[in-house]
Structure 1
Amino acid sequence: MALIEMLGFGPEGWGGVLLLAALMTVALTLAALAVGAVFGALIAAAKLSRFRTLRVLGDAYTTVFRGVPELLVIYLFYFGGSTLVTTIGQWFGADGFVGVPPFVIGALAVGMISGAYQAEVYRSAVLAVSRGELEAARSIGMPTMTMARRILIPQVLRFALPGIGNVWQLSLKDSALISVTGLAELLRASQVAAGSTHQYFTFFVVGGALYLLMTSISNRVFNHAEARVGRSFKRNFARN
């Protein structure tokens, strides 16, 4: 009975705190995935460029953010970002230390790590598009933007979707590392609840169960999206 009260949503329960923390984790992962999509698309374009300098820069980005431990990247962003903002603030007359919101730091840090993986996903998806379709579009004089909108982007999204699902799962787990900045995401809330009640095993098991629940739901969403996109392409192919 005491366990139910402790995990419930009453005045003495931690259920509401853990639920809000789980929602914060999802929000942080969504923001990070969006940031990563921007950086990933730019880096993929650089790696596919005919200019050697851009290809080298793209390779350097993916090597650094895939090779350096995620926790170290978060620390560098947290302390380096706060130092930078403090310096800029002092230029405009601000006094003392100026901190950067942990959510912003988390979204940027995890997002740029995600971007390194998304870049490879997008690059592989572009290379998987049939060159014959693109050459046929050029041969009939189709404008570049129209060709990208009607041929390239839809197929890239189709081929990239499974990889993006894997990157989502990776970012969801990496979001737990943001607890070191004090953001009240799921791992941080589990730590606080465990420390307050001294029920460490219970709350870490509950936290792990919530992570498994989120990943299971995510798998179902991405599997449904892949099946839906696959059916859509089959219908379009049949019409043609």
Structure 2
Amino acid sequence: MALIQQLGFGSDGWGSVLLLAALMTVALTLAALAVGAVLGAIVAAAKLSRHRSARLLGDVYTTVFRGVPELLVIYLFYFGGSTLVTTVGQWFGAEGFIGVPPFVIGALAVGMISGAYQAEVYRAAVLAVSKGELEAARAIGMPTFTVMRRIMIPQVLRFALPGIGNVWQLSLKDSALISVTGLAELLRTSQVAANSTHQYFLFFVAGGALYLLMTGVSNRVFNRAEAYVGRSFRRNFARN
């Protein structure tokens, strides 16, 4: 009974705190995925570029952020980012150490890692688009914007969506590493609750269950999105 009360939503329970921490984890992952989407699109364009220097830069980015441990990237962003902000602040007359908000550090660090994987997803999706359709569109004089809107973007979205789902799950797990910065996400909050009550097994299992819940809901959302995109693509193809 006492264990149930500790997970409850009363004054002595940690239930509401854990749920808020889970929402923080989702918000952090969404922000990181958005950062990664922008970076991934830019890097994918660079890797598909005709210019060798652009392809080289894209390869270096994906190699570094897929090869370096995620925790090391977070440490570099956390300490390096604070040092950089402090140095810039001192140029403008600020005194003392200036810390960067952990949420911002987490979104940028996990976003940079996510961007490396999303870049490969987008690159593969672009290469999967039928060249015959693009050549046919150009042959009939279809404007570039129309080609992108009616042919390229719908098919890239269709091919990339499963990979983006996998990147989301990866970023969701990587968000747990942001606990080292002190951000009250799910793992950090589970650890604080465990230390406060000395019920380590209970709260780490509860944290793991919430991660599994978020993963299960995410899988359902992405499966529905894939099914919707697939139906829309088949409907448009039949219409054309």
TM range (shorter): over 0.9
Q: Which residue of the partner structure matches residue 136 of structure 1?
A: 136
Query: What is the distance in 2 between the residues matched to 1:79 and 1:61?
Result: 21
Q: Contact 2:14/2:193 (CA < 8 Å) preserved in 1? A: yes
Q: Which residue of the partner structure matches residue 56 of structure 2?
A: 56
Query: What is the distance in 1 between the residues matched to 2:73 and 2:225?
Result: 31
Query: What is the distance in 2 between the residues matched to 1:172 and 1:121?
Result: 17
Shift of 1:234: 1.2
Shift of 1:142: 1.6
Q: Which AA in structure 2 matches 1:214?
A: M
Shift of 1:61: 0.2
Query: What is the distance in 2 between the residues matched to 1:140 and 1:237?
Result: 18
| 1:91-102 correspondence to structure 2 within 5 Å | 91-102=91-102
Q: Note if 1:239 corresponds to 2:231.
A: no
Query: What is the distance in 1 between the residues matched to 2:231 and 2:143?
Result: 28
Q: Note if 1:6 corresponds to 2:6.
A: yes
Q: Which residue of the partner structure matches residue 30 of structure 2?
A: 30
> Please, what is the CA RMSD of the aligned residues?
0.6
Shift of 1:186: 0.1
Shift of 1:15: 0.4
Runs of 4+ off more than 3 Å:
none
Q: Which AA in structure 1 matches 2:225?
A: A
Query: What is the distance in 2 between the residues matched to 1:232 and 1:37?
Result: 23
Say which is worse superposed, 185-194 or 229-238, in terms of deviation: 229-238
Q: Structure 1 regions of 5+ residues with no counterpart?
A: none
Q: Which residue of the partner structure matches residue 65 of structure 1?
A: 65
Query: What is the distance in 1 between the residues matched to 2:109 and 2:41?
Result: 17
Query: What is the distance in 2 between the residues matched to 1:126 and 1:234?
Result: 19
Shift of 1:140: 1.5
Shift of 1:152: 0.5
Query: What is the distance in 1 between the residues matched to 2:239 and 2:150?
Result: 15
Give 3-state SS (helix, strand or coil) of 1:39's partner: helix
Shift of 1:201: 0.6
Query: What is the distance in 2 between the residues matched to 1:150 and 1:92?
Result: 50
Q: Percent identical across equivalent pairs? A: 87
Q: Which residue of the partner structure matches residue 145 of structure 2?
A: 145
**Number of residue equivalences:** 240
Q: Contact 2:77/2:105 (CA < 8 Å) preserved in 1? A: yes
Q: Which residue of the partner structure matches residue 113 of structure 1?
A: 113
